[in-house]
Amino acid sequence: MTKSIAVFGTGPGVGQAIARRYGKEGYDVVLVARRQEPLDLLARELSADGVNAHVITGDLDRTDAVPALAERIRASAGNPTALYYGPAPRDLAFVPAVELTPERIQDRLPMTLYTLMALVREFLPAMAERGDGAILSAQGAAAVQGRPYMSGWPTVLAAQRNYLQSLAAEVAGQGVYVGMLYIGARILGTPFEEDYQRRQAEGEPVPDMPAADPAELAGLLWDMHAERKRRETVVPAGLLDS
């Protein structure tokens, strides 16, 4: 049976790299994001490499639209063997913790947490029935350990991590792997990298962070999935010890 992965948040950086890596491993790939044109471009690149790629546009801020989105995916490629969830807000809007208010994180909840939960409820049953599946994510390491001047969205990412940790323990016996990659680096080619460079150029306080190649990060998440030995990995190694 052909395996497939639905990539939710197929934006520049890890999302596109995940699509390429899983396509290379023989998976059909379902590309999901807001904008049609970048998805069509990536689909053409994947098709040129012999990968079956399907384009599905959708706004992951709209949790109420998940049932219809799931049906469109099933109509194109069936229930996915794996799903990757890694969307990021268009405006990252990191703020110092001393300035954080409830209103600043309210609009981060649907995309970061609610839609993920709804998608898991859509696709987990088929994975468990099949006895094989994977739910994967890649997010910033600030979800694991708070960093100065980088509060806001990471606060909600920490809640997402808690949900995925519980889910991982509950579904492991059903053949479903839950893998989380937390990245304490600037991912090349992403809005975060652009924002980081802008803030640094304007003299704003920013943490010292290394750069990371999205293809290498996608390879690490693939290895975690293939080996099923670790549920979580933080990069760079030793970040949380510093």
CATH fold of 4-241 reads Rossmann fold (3.40.50)
Confidence (pLDDT) at 92: 65
Q: How confident is the model over 212-231, as pLDDT tens digits?
A: 999 999 999 999 999 999 99
What amino acid is encoded at 198 in this protein?
A: R
Q: For the chain, which residues make up each domain, given as ranges?
A: 4-241
pTM passes above 0.85: yes
**Where does the pLDDT of residue 106 fall: very low under 50, low under 70, confident under 90, or very high at 90 and above?**
confident
Q: How confident is the model over 15-45, as pLDDT tens digits?
A: 999 999 999 999 999 999 999 999 999 999 9
Q: What whole-number distance in Å separates Cα of residue 77 and Cα of residue 218? A: 22
Q: Is the pLDDT of residue 240 over 80?
A: no
Q: Is the pLDDT of residue 238 over 80?
A: no
Cα 23 from chain centroid (whole Å): 17
Which residue, chain included where needed, has tokens 């690490």? 220
